[in-house]
Chains A and B, each alone.
Chain A
């Protein structure tokens, strides 16, 4: 009998273009990106790193609510998003707020989401996305549906969804990739494998050597990519997108990455389950550091330029938080109005009750 798992890792070797030193190691795979586009990617990564730092600080001051740190995952998050078109539809997890922002969600709305205010989820016209999913895996089956719908409508767009290494254990994960495969739906399934699901290491999550190989059982393409290499992440997503809109079906992308911070800001302590050595090992692979080296070598980036981005980010974040503060506090009477197209009797009564309470 032939052994199924023999040499499976070879089939799912990590795809890389830019190594830790910022050198191109896979010239043939270099995506076609103009200098402007390369700089734009750097701009977004630096900006997003600052946004993460500020969000953590704001959370500690009690000025933000739920927040899942993103530092370390910029290449995986922004490299995939950069390969999208405006009409593509994003189904994010709770950590994937940056992709929404670069897809057009105003910053202050991201902050409102964090504060648990529904205006944060009232996306402006043209921001094609769902709000961040809290239930792990739920977005995977929905993404298959979005993609099916696009295909039925004859659109040339894709659905892209995100989960983590932990998320690949959920039934919804398998169901989603299988359905999308069965219907050859234009979907891109991204797994940001940051090696931990809160405290549980990926080795305990599954006996599979890679997460990308889970694509095989669903009969779809699967690839493992260096998730700290924004060029590689962009390239595989772009290819997946091209194939999807050409009717060649979905792709599962496993991006190897790391979250530098705690799981969320609600009391997680990573020192309970990660070593400092491991942190250091991953910080050496930092996506921004290596991309900076690459751009500097090409004469496309300088310290001054980076400082400008940092200042701009800080200023815009400050303005956005001000706008967030200006939003009127959420009322229960408004929530009642969000329940049905037409209010049933019970809610009509309760609406009156709360309006009376609120006007006191």
Chain B
């Protein structure tokens, strides 16, 4: 076991899979010699050579496009989009092409591709670097979307994503890259895709979150505990497909739900999850399900981002509202 930050755990997962499977290729802008702008691929080119870990020219649509092509040649591409705000450049290659390869070929072909990309707010990046755009991909049948909230999960989920035979978008919240360390096994292990994790058990209300909002939810739960409110916190880990089994089990116990996402209210995962809960468990609910989300503007100019982003106080406010309903 070793103490690792989330970014170290990600590098470690890449190393494990580069070692395990000679078909794994890691590439993108600045990922080679420079080790990526966040150093996620640090040392990998030295260790595995330029044939396996390489820089690409600057074009996201081609980075995603060559991934599909390489997949037809038996490779397992792990491209990086330098920031997820640049996914718009690659949107056709992902949602229009990669997602449909299996379907279009009548299940004779597949795209075992894992697109890694940093995203998420609160680190004072310029425009189009911080947006939560997971909803755009989650809307596309054929794609999976994975968002870890901690180093242990990041490694295990990334290994599972790379081994998965369908395309995965793996989103890494920038605020979590180096914010804390935890024990991460040095060996190879995996965390199953599509399975949520109950991070904290509780009886009065269920908080559903993913990415950095898991930590805001845990903090809110701690504060609520002081007021005598016992909150259960679910970390979705995979936001598409969603693990409704775990969610429903919790709802049946707590009867109250607050859904938390960093994305704007009009987009993202909350509406889909909330509508499913009410379809399947309305008789278990003692209060309407409330959502904590960012306002419906373009991601805020950095000057206002701290106020714009949802935080644990917003979560506490909504929890009090569902408790006192």
**Which A residues form the contact surface with B (CB < 8 A)?**
65-66, 94, 115-118, 134-136, 166-167, 169-171, 197-200, 204-206, 266-268, 272-273, 329-332, 334-336, 338-339, 346-347, 350, 353-354, 357-358
Contacts and interface: CB of A to CB of B under 8 A. Distances in A.
B106 to A, nearest CB: 30
B301 A134 contact: no
Of the candidates B34, B62, B86, the one having the most CB atoms from chain A within 10 angstroms of its own CB is B34
Contacts of B89: 135, 170-171
Contacts of A198: 29-30, 34, 37
Given A198-B37, A272-B34, A330-B304, A204 B55 contact: yes
Contacts of B29: 166, 197-198, 200
Contact of A273 (B33, B62, B88, B302): B33
B266 A169 contact: no
B265 interface: yes
Contact of A335 (B127, B128, B304): B304
Contacts of A346: 265-266, 296
Contacts of B305: 116
A171 B60 CA distance: 9
B61 A273 contact: no
A169 B124 contact: no
Contact of A350 (B125, B128, B296): B296
Given A116-B124, A136-B58, A335 B302 contact: no
Closest 5 CB pairs of A and B: A116-B302, A199-B34, A330-B303, A169-B57, A166-B58
A273 B34 contact: yes
Contacts of A199: 30, 32-34, 55
Contacts of B298: 335, 339
Given A134-B127, A166-B58, A335-B308, 4 more contacts: A134-B85, A198-B37, A336-B297, A347-B296
Contacts of B297: 332, 335-336, 338-339, 347
Given A339-B298, A350-B296, A135 B86 contact: yes
A268 B29 CA distance: 14
B147 interface: no
B270 to A, nearest CB: 13
B307 interface: yes
A335 B300 contact: yes
Contacts of A272: 33-35
B323 interface: no
Contacts of B58: 136, 166-167, 169-170, 197, 200, 205
B295 interface: yes
A132 to B, nearest CB: 9
B59 interface: yes
Given A115-B302, A332-B308, A357-B307, A169 B296 contact: no
B196 to A, nearest CB: 28
Interface residues of B, number: 37
Nearest to B83: A134
A205 to B, nearest CB: 5
Given A135-B128, A205-B57, A272-B34, A115 B296 contact: no
Nearest to A94: B126
Given A170-B89, A346-B265, A116 B303 contact: yes
A272 B55 CA distance: 14
B317 to A, nearest CB: 10
Interface in B286-312: 295-298, 300-305, 307-308
A136 B82 CA distance: 12
Interface string B48-76: 00000001011101100000000000000
A214 B58 CA distance: 16
Contacts of A117: 301, 303
A350 B303 contact: no
B61 to A, nearest CB: 6
Contacts of A115: 302-303
A171 to B, nearest CB: 6
Nearest to A353: B295
B126 A134 contact: yes
B34 A65 contact: no
Contact of B61 (A66, A171, A330, A353): A171
A54 B58 CA distance: 30
A350 B305 CA distance: 15
Nearest to B307: A332
20 contacts: A65-B302, A116-B303, A118-B301, A135-B128, A166-B58, A167-B58, A170-B58, A197-B29, A197-B58, A199-B30, A199-B33, A199-B55, A267-B37, A330-B303, A331-B307, A332-B297, A332-B307, A347-B297, A350-B265, A354-B295
A164 to B, nearest CB: 9
A354 B29 CA distance: 39
Contacts of B37: 198, 267-268
A131 to B, nearest CB: 9
Contacts of A353: 295
Contacts of A135: 85-86, 88-89, 128
Nearest to B304: A330
A347 B294 CA distance: 11
Contact of A336 (B62, B128, B295): B295
A358 B306 CA distance: 12
